[in-house]
Amino acid sequence: MNQDIPSENSDVHAGLQMTLAAIVISVFLGLGKIMGYVKEILLAKYFGVSGVTDAFKIPYNVIVFGLYTKIEKLLRPTYLPEFVRMKQEDGDEQAWRITSVLSSLQLLVLIGLGGLVMIFAEPLVRYVWPGLASNPEHLELAVVILRIMAPALVLFSLSVMPELTLHSYKRFTLPAVAETCYRTAIVLTMIALIGWVWAPTDPRAIYAAALGVLAGGACRLFVQLPGLKSKLRHFRFSLAVRGTPGLVGIFWLMPPVVLGLVFSWARTFGDSICANSLGAGMYTALDFGRKLSDLAILILPLAVSFVVYPYLSEWAARDEKDRLADALVSMTRAMAFIFIPLSVAIVILARPFSSLVYELGKTGPEDIALISLALRCYAVGIFFYAVEGSINKWYFALKDTGTPNYVGASMVVVHLVIAYGGGLKLGWGLAAVALALTISKSTKVIILYGLLLRRIGKIDANRVYPFVLKLVASTALMGVVVYMVGQQMEPVLVAWQPPLGGAKLRVLVLFATAGLAGTATFLGMAALTRIEELFLVAHYLTEKIRGRLACSH
């Protein structure tokens, strides 16, 4: 069976079935995320929470990675459904005419942007991030890093088209492998160059991270191309916008998406400016905290959003609102079952979690305090971050790119008011910048749910309210257990002097003990109150294991 995801055997609980299928894809995405966190650990070890790390993180997050995500968010709801429609109705050759023109336009625009970044790197840093530019050494580092990463800006963002095209053929694994290769290339480049080319104590060693991004961008693009080798014969460099069927429909869907992306980028810029204005290293502390909160939500929820989209598009085209409503409830329940207890646990264990990952080398206890503060503020909204990407797909399947983007744009304004007003004017500092995202994203998701339910009809209340009560009870008991175990273990571990590992080992034991106790409590309560998701996942895994054993015999 040559498919990336299993086919549906039943229409019952379709949303949950897709979530379970996405677990397979999550394995590949998870490997990439692990390498991403190895990169963060290396940055913490060699450069710490400092202006040197800011000099890499700000240009990378705002410009290189920021542009990639905006292009992906522009093309996924506009290019992908039209490509699928034309492929089904007119065949690959006609569909690939759209791919050819959009890829050609993208290439020219990216080359122009990359050139501008290289030429105007210094004034860009100097006027957009004056806090970073106030230190001549940090200014020079940021300028060189921007120029090194300018070609990566082109390569990395070009990888969006093969990624989306593979998804349109329901091939999800190779793009996930490419993402893993991208992050692995960054780590290997840093390991190879720090110590070999630059001494670890040399601030210029941060260039290794920028060169890693360049190598990773090339890997991400070229690893995906073999997956399209039988289709690439249809590709032609072309700028024939008017003569290409389907492009007009794509362009009509783009304005609301572009508006949303402009505001989203404004949020990214605003966060970098606010955090940088708070002092050297504050942006890095904010980003380190965000990376930890993103650890879980960038794997399974991302896979779910990939898998669910083609199915939703088919149901919306057939006006099957009952299936759209059932899938929405199933997806939301599955995400809540995983991420609400995880959110509570991370809030309670933020300090040991941050210390376990980042407290090494140049990152000390004061830095960990800042990182854990940011982590707690972000962790409160983990459930809302997890469902945001998927709920947008319900709107896109209904050919509505306006509602989620207009709501999102208005929430960016709320975000910037909280971040700037609270962080800089009221003196709430880093916490305000982090909480701005949690408050604005949570509000956005709640509004989108309310508007969506008006369009897809009623949901089964019997699948919502009892589940909410059971989940709240299970999570509350878990939170109490995690807190109490942590409080009891801390003085014992402080007195313990392990022969190896020292403070790191004590933190690991605390984190593991409290985490395992909380997990056991939550799963026990979920079983006792008979939360459906627990038994469905257990049944799914049991069937998989039985299937493997049967194949081995």
Q: Is residue 59 located within the same domain as residue 37?
A: yes
**DSSP-derived 3-state class of residue 194:** strand
- SS3 for 394-410, per residue? HHHHCCCCHHHHHHHHH
pLDDT in tens, 431-448: 999 999 999 999 999 999
Six token digits for residue 446: 């709640």
Q: Is residue 160 located within the same domain as residue 276?
A: no
pLDDT in tens, 42-91: 998 889 888 899 999 989 988 888 888 888 888 888 888 788 778 878 88
The per-residue pLDDT of the chain, averaged, comes to 83
Six token digits for residue 455: 């369009």
Position 19 in a domain: no
Position 350 in a domain: yes
Six token digits for residue 456: 């897809």
Which of these, 525, 438, 415, 389, lies nearest to 77 by C-alpha position?
389
Give the integer Cα–Cα distance in Å for 231 and 371.
46
Q: Is residue 496 located within the same domain as residue 411?
A: no
Which of these, 283, 276, 309, lies nearest to 75 by C-alpha position?
309
- What confidence tier does 498 reach under pLDDT thresholds 50, 70, 90? low
Q: Is residue 270 located within the same domain as residue 156?
A: no
Six token digits for residue 173: 């694994």
Percent over 70 (pLDDT), the chain? 86
pLDDT in the model for residue 204: 93
Q: Is the pLDDT of residue 189 over 50?
A: yes
Q: Is residue 369 located within the same domain as residue 465?
A: no
- What confidence tier does 540 reach under pLDDT thresholds 50, 70, 90? very low
Give the integer Cα–Cα distance in Å for 88 and 86.
5
pLDDT in tens, 385-418: 888 878 888 888 787 888 998 999 999 999 999 9
Q: Which helix (H) or strand (E) holds 540?
A: helix 532-552
State the Cα angle at 333 between 331 and 334, rounded to 5°. Answer: 65
pLDDT in tens, 255-310: 888 888 888 888 888 888 888 888 888 888 888 888 888 876 766 666 666 666 66
DSSP line for 323-366:
HHHHHHHHHHHHHHHHHHHHHHHHHHTHHHHHHHHH-STT--HH
pLDDT in the model for residue 35: 87
- What single-letter amino acid sits at 402? G
- What confidence tier does 357 reach under pLDDT thresholds 50, 70, 90? confident
State the Cα angle at 389 between 463 and 28, rounded to 5°. Answer: 100
The residue assigned the tokens 């200014």 is 139
Percent over 90 (pLDDT), the chain? 29
**DSSP-derived 3-state class of residue 41:** helix
Q: Of 527 and 32, which is predicted with more confidence?
A: 527
Q: Is residue 162 located within the same domain as residue 71?
A: yes
Which of 423, 444, 459 lies at the terminal end of a domain, its last residue?
Answer: 459
Cβ burial of 1 (10 Å; 0-12, 13-18, 19+) is exposed
Cβ distance 389 to 297 under 8 Å?
no
Q: Is the pLDDT of residue 8 over 50?
A: no
Cβ distance 106 to 164 under 8 Å?
no
The residue assigned the tokens 């069976």 is 1
- Chain mean position to CA 507: 27
Give the integer Cα–Cα distance in Å for 194 and 204.
9
Give the integer Cα–Cα distance in Å for 172 and 21.
12
Position 268 in a domain: yes
Cβ distance 312 to 397 under 8 Å?
yes
Give the integer Cα–Cα distance in Å for 106 and 239.
10
Which range of residues forms the domain containing residue 497? 460-553
Q: Is residue 307 located within the same domain as residue 290?
A: yes
CA dihedral 258, 264, 267, 273 (to 10 degrees): -70
Cβ burial of 517 (10 Å; 0-12, 13-18, 19+) is middle
Position 251 in a domain: no
Q: Is residue 289 located within the same domain as residue 410?
A: yes
Give the integer Cα–Cα distance in Å for 266 and 246.
30
Give the integer Cα–Cα distance in Å for 552 and 195.
47
Give the integer Cα–Cα distance in Å for 331 and 312.
12
- When divided into structural domains, the chain yields a total of 3
Mean pLDDT of 478-493: 86
pLDDT in the model for residue 298: 64
- What confidence tier does 119 reach under pLDDT thresholds 50, 70, 90? very high
Phi/psi at 182 (5° precision): -60, -50
Q: Is residue 314 located within the same domain as residue 217?
A: no
Give the CB-side neighbour count of residue 101, counting CA atoms within 13 A.
19
pLDDT in the model for residue 536: 64
Is the whole model's pTM more than 0.85, yes or no? Answer: no
- What single-letter amino acid sits at 282? M
Neighbours of 431 (CB within 10 A): 16
Q: Is residue 450 located within the same domain as residue 468?
A: no
Position 2 in a domain: no
Q: Is residue 329 located within the same domain as residue 448?
A: yes
Cβ distance 111 to 154 under 8 Å?
yes
Which of these, 168, 83, 78, lies nearest to 397 by C-alpha position?
78
**DSSP-derived 3-state class of residue 553:** coil
- Chain mean position to CA 278: 25
Six token digits for residue 400: 């509505």
- What confidence tier does 546 reach under pLDDT thresholds 50, 70, 90? low
Which of 425, 459, 493 lies at the terminal end of a domain, its last residue?
Answer: 459
Which of 444, 459, 474 lies at the terminal end of a domain, its last residue?
Answer: 459
Cβ distance 153 to 114 under 8 Å?
yes
Give the integer Cα–Cα distance in Å for 289 and 358.
10
Give the integer Cα–Cα distance in Å for 292 and 311.
31
Q: Is residue 318 located within the same domain as residue 446?
A: yes
Give the integer Cα–Cα distance in Å for 306 and 28.
13
State the Cα angle at 258 between 252 and 259, rounded to 5°. Answer: 110
Q: Of 474 and 399, which is predicted with more confidence?
A: 474
